Amino acid sequence: MSKTISDIYKGWKISVTAKDEKCSHFSFNITSPSGTTQSVFMGGITAERAIERAREMIDMEIAFVDGE
């Protein structure tokens, strides 16, 4: 059974799971405050990098919405 690491960043939920996918060892899901979920299967080589990528993706989503 895979261990899942959860985090909250700017009101968004991040779930990181160990999963080997090509050159990546972790995948992640981000869930917006409204409940929309996005999945990234190649999240990073380490759990820390996957969380960092998830936060970058959240920042881009927020910037996109603020720019509309």
Give the pLDDT band of residue 6 (cuts 50, 70, 90).
very high
Q: Is the pLDDT of residue 53 over 70?
A: yes
- Tell me 5's DSSP state: E
Can you list the positions of beta strands (E) in 1-68?
4-9, 12-21, 24-31, 37-44
* Higher-pLDDT residue of 55, 23: 55
**What pLDDT sits at residue 67?**
77
What residues form DSSP beta bridges with 29?
A: 15, 39
